[in-house]
Amino acid sequence: MFKFSVSVHCDNPNMAGSRSHLISLFIVLGVIHGTQSYKQLKHTYQEAKQRWNYVQVRQNAHMFWWLYYTTASTNYQSKPLVLWLQGGPGGSSTGFGNFGEIGPLDVNQNPRRTTWLSKVSLLFIDNPVGAGFSYVTDDSAYTTNNDMIAADLLTVLMAFLKELPDFRTIPFFIFCESYGGKMTAGFSLALQKAIIARQIDCNFKGFALGDSWISPWDSTFTWGPYLKATSLIDEHGLQLINGSVVVARKAYDNGKYGLATDEWGKTQEILESLTGGVNFYNILQWNSQEDTKHSYKKYKEQSIFERLVHRNLAHLSSDSLDQLMNGPIRKKLGIIPRNVTWGGQSDKVFEHLKEDFMKPVVNVVDELLRMSNLSVNIYTGQLDLIVDTLGTEAWVQKLTWPYLHQFNTAKRKPLLDPLKKNPIAFVKQYKNLGFYWILDAGHMVPADAGEAALMMLDMVTS
């Protein structure tokens, strides 16, 4: 057994003053899947200094953040800071994003070979309030739209930079996934405006939208064509799916936004039935028929929206992750209120955003491109269904950015596997807009294609 000591400083808002914690991480000898064994990996694994805290963003609303200092250099100020925002809405950045995708350790507490910490410092915020370890003490404090989410994130970032002023001058980027992309767009606009108004001192450089819920209708209308092109449905199935999407869109156009979300959930159920339970997050994977039958039997008494919430949040909280976060991690952090359970309010987060769920934010991305020189990047997993590449490409073409034609005709370049020399991604760039097609990846790009994601991170932040 190898022992790594990690020095962690934490300000506890529930105590007077602050205290320092010395955390000992025990890594058990084992094998890491990939090109490196544990024996090889342990030589590159470095101690990570960490900070965490709560911020009260509004009355009855408390948000949790967790910072990891980069292991790429002893001088963390020489490397960028990346904020990671999870999707859902209601997924946890400190949980799934950290231990499931890009943090230094995986859910089993083994070192991650493709951790982003090897390139940048990482900031995880459980967002919106109610996700992860963030919590509300009254239901009225949940967010109901993207503007509220952006305002809360701005409050957290202001508090973070006040507590750790060294990060004010460090290049700051936002990366995200799924519904986290919708929140990233809104937050980026709010942050950029706050910087212009000199309300915050932040070296904001850009953002990257990963398989992001920017245009729900472009994503959903392309489900059928994508599934038919990949032999997962036939022409009749295509008509059934398209017909269901039309019903959902009609409700939306009539201003019945909550009903539109329900009808979208019905479309998901039709799709699952037609494909034999294809996984919405990777079309080469299936939910087992037994699991699907068990799920419908267990949740058949629930409303269509309750089933929708379960379907779209369950993958972000496995039993092993739940045990880790509510066990060893909770104990390590030492500041989580006794009545707060990691993930305990996630369903409520989604419920309060039901009316906002299907509203697009293409105009927000467009405004950011037009008003700033921020680096705007989009990345999409080849095998993702819920936010498929076809839909992402479709909303990009709706931008009114004056350089869209030049972007469309720019040459697409392959990114090559350093060992096999075959393409693992493609990228197109013009001025401050970049688009990354990540091969052999579903919705969770960093988890499915770690090497390609790390390469993309390096290109965006360098």
pLDDT band at 45 (very low <50, low <70, confident <90, very high): low
Same domain, 63 and 193: yes
Mean pLDDT, all residues of the chain: 90
* Residue 140 bears catalytic tag: no
Rg, C-alpha atoms of the chain? 21
Same domain, 288 and 418: no
Q: Is residue 336 part of a domain?
A: no
Same domain, 368 and 413: yes
Same domain, 57 and 166: yes
Same domain, 247 and 181: no
In this predicted structure, the answer to whether residue 229 has a pLDDT above a threshold of 90 is yes
- Largest distance between two CA atoms of the chain: 66
Q: Is residue 334 part of a domain?
A: no
* Model pLDDT for residues 340-393, shown as the tens digit of each residue: 999 999 999 999 999 999 999 999 999 999 999 999 999 999 999 999 999 999
Q: Which residue has the tokens 């090897």?
A: 118
In this predicted structure, the answer to whether residue 19 has a pLDDT above a threshold of 80 is no
Rounded to whole angstroms, how far apart are CA atoms 129 and 183? 12
Rounded to whole angstroms, how far apart are CA atoms 251 and 38? 53
Same domain, 29 and 162: yes
Q: Is residue 39 part of a domain?
A: yes
Same domain, 185 and 245: no
Q: Is residue 48 part of a domain?
A: yes
Rounded to whole angstroms, how far apart are CA atoms 90 and 109? 23
Q: Is residue 44 part of a domain?
A: yes
* Model pLDDT for residues 308-340, shown as the tens digit of each residue: 999 999 999 899 999 999 999 999 999 999 999
* Residue 294 bears catalytic tag: no
* Residue 352 bears catalytic tag: no
Could you tell me which residues come within 8 angstroms of residue 383 by beta carbon, excluding any fewer than 6 positions away? 282, 283, 284, 440, 441, 442, 448
Q: Is the peptide bond before 89 cis (omega within 30 degrees of 0)?
A: yes
In this predicted structure, the answer to whether residue 167 has a pLDDT above a threshold of 70 is yes
* Model pLDDT for residues 207-223, shown as the tens digit of each residue: 999 999 999 999 999 99
Of 301, 323, 342, the one marking the end of a domain is 301
Q: Is residue 79 part of a domain?
A: yes
Same domain, 148 and 6: yes
In this predicted structure, the answer to whether residue 225 has a pLDDT above a threshold of 50 is yes
In this predicted structure, the answer to whether residue 38 has a pLDDT above a threshold of 60 is no
Rounded to whole angstroms, how far apart are CA atoms 103 and 207? 18
Cβ count near 82 (within 10 Å):
25
Handedness of CA 196, 197, 203, 206 (dihedral sign): negative
Same domain, 86 and 109: yes
In this predicted structure, the answer to whether residue 254 has a pLDDT above a threshold of 90 is yes
Rounded to whole angstroms, how far apart are CA atoms 127 and 116? 20
Share of the chain above pLDDT 90, in %: 85
**Catalytic option among 366, 384, 388, 448:** 384
Enclosing domain of residue 125: 2-215+358-461
Same domain, 175 and 257: no
**Catalytic option among 178, 188, 212, 375:** 178
Of 301, 319, 347, the one marking the end of a domain is 301
Same domain, 123 and 253: no
Q: Is residue 446 part of a domain?
A: yes
Q: Is the peptide bond before 328 cis (omega within 30 degrees of 0)?
A: no
Q: Is residue 347 part of a domain?
A: no
Taking residues 169-183, what's their average pLDDT?
Answer: 98
Question: Closest Cα partner for 280 from 442, 430, 409, 115?
Answer: 442
> Residue 48 has what pLDDT?
86
**Catalytic option among 118, 211, 372, 443:** 443
Q: What CATH number is given to the structural domain containing 110?
A: 3.40.50.1820
> Residue 40 has what pLDDT?
57
Do the Cβ atoms of 121 and 154 come closer than 8 Å?
A: no
Tell me, rounded to whole angstroms, the distance of Cα 438 from its chain centroid: 16
The structural domain count of the chain equals 2
Same domain, 153 and 6: yes
